[in-house]
Structure 1
Amino acid sequence: MRYLSIVFIATLLIACDQPEAKEPVEYKGPLREVENMEMFYTENDRIKVKMQAAVVYEFLNGDREFPKGIYLEFYTEEGTLESTLKANNAYFFKEQNQWRGRGKVEVKNIAKNEQLNTEELFWKPADQKIFTEQFVTIKQQEDVIYGTGLDAKQDLSDYVITKPYGEVGFQEN
């Protein structure tokens, strides 16, 4: 009986000496959440870009997520509204300095009265370029152009559709 008591106590002591180690859980969610954000980017005391978003998540690596959509306005040097961009949701990749809009993405060129629609669009602010490999629709004043893939200036003033299709009317002089 004494032997069983010693074995029992030794087993309890060994079990108590080895606590169960748990791996720490690394948090990968947003560090900050902003609601009803309105931000202005300026150069030489002139507004260049106005940004609005209902919700913004900021992450440790500098990335930002806009899960409820984003709306951007781009202005000329003179301060005139040049173009707009909106998307159902967006993501900013800090390391690449690149944006991705998804869902119903719409870009309007105010001066040319043209509108681009697609499901996914990338924007490189440093190059002032937008691009996609997805299906695109461009509504012009008289025509509608369809295609897959697009490379364009961010204001949609100049663009190339990789694989265009559809009919476009031409006027002869």
Structure 2
Amino acid sequence: MGLASCDEEVDSSLLEPYLGPVSEALDVELYHSDSALVRTYLQAKKQIEFENGDQEFPEGIDITFYDEEGNITTTMRADRGFYTHKDNLYKGEGDVRVHNLEKDQKLNSEELFWDPNAKKIYTEKFVTIQERETLFNGTGMEADEGFNEYKLFKVTNSRTILPGEN
């Protein structure tokens, strides 16, 4: 009695690990606290999470920052958001806006990173900052996460806002 075997061709693509989303959530609200005080509040219409802990917010992301008394100090929004788990780093893309309510400073860019560990925001892209009646333009910016103090790099075309202009 003899044994026979035949080698079947196996489609190797069937053996590749799945890299797609592992979960999806709608109308997400996340609170980050420190010493029992709410420090940030994140809202997103849709959150997609991957196995490695990375997240994507394809329909936009809004982040609100609070002071020790629970007052809103700064808001940040973007058309799309991303979170990289291994670096604990958020990235906003599209129409990105930051507003420091206390100083009435506003920032617009097409890309912005928020590093919660370093408590800073930054970008290497073009930025417009409105501070009272003055517009500052530049490429590259770094600030504390509350957008209280900032450094603007490669400053170009800064000017005073004319009456009636916004």
TM-score in terms of structure 1 length: 0.85
Give, in whole Å, the separation in 2 of the partners of 1:167 and 1:118: 15
Q: Is the counterpart of residue 104 in structure 1 residue 98 in structure 2? A: no
Larger mean CA deviation between 40-49 and 57-66 belongs to 40-49
Which of 95, 110, 115 is the equivalent residue of 2:86? 95
Q: Is residue 7 of structure 2 the alignment partner of residue 18 of structure 1? A: yes
CA distance in 1, matches of 2:118, 2:7: 58
Q: Distance in 2 between matches of 1:45 and 1:133?
A: 34
Aligned residues: 156
Q: Which runs of 5+ in 1 are unaligned?
A: 1-13
Of the structure 1 ranges 23-32 and 145-154, higher mean CA displacement relative to structure 2 is found in 23-32
String of CA shifts for 1:131-155, please: whole Å, max 9, x gaps.
1111000112111111110011111
Paired amino acid for 2:56: E
Residues 22-57 of structure 1, C-alpha deviations (whole Å, 9 max, x = no match): 221321101111111011112222211111001111
Residue matched to 2:140: 149
CA distance in 1, matches of 2:49, 2:109: 26
What is the one-letter code of the residue matched to 1:22? D
1:118 paired to 2:114:
no
How many Å apart are 1:168 and its aligned residue? 4.8
Larger Rg: 1
Q: Which residue of 2 aligns with 1:68?
A: 59
Find the counterpart in structure 2 of residue 6 from structure 1.
none
Is 1:80 the equivalent of 2:71? yes
Structure with greater helix percent: 1
Distance between the aligned counterparts of 1:96 and 1:45, measured in 2? Answer: 24
Matched, 1:39 2:12: no
- Higher share in strand: 2
One-letter amino acid matched to 2:95: K
Structure 2 CA distance for aligned equivalents of residues 67 and 86 of structure 1? 13
| Aligned partner of residue 17 in structure 1, secondary structure | coil
Q: State percent identity of aligned pairs.
A: 35
Q: Which runs of 5+ in 2 are unaligned?
A: 161-166
Q: Alpha-carbon deviation of 1:17?
A: 2.3
Question: Are 1:128 and 2:119 an aligned pair?
Answer: yes
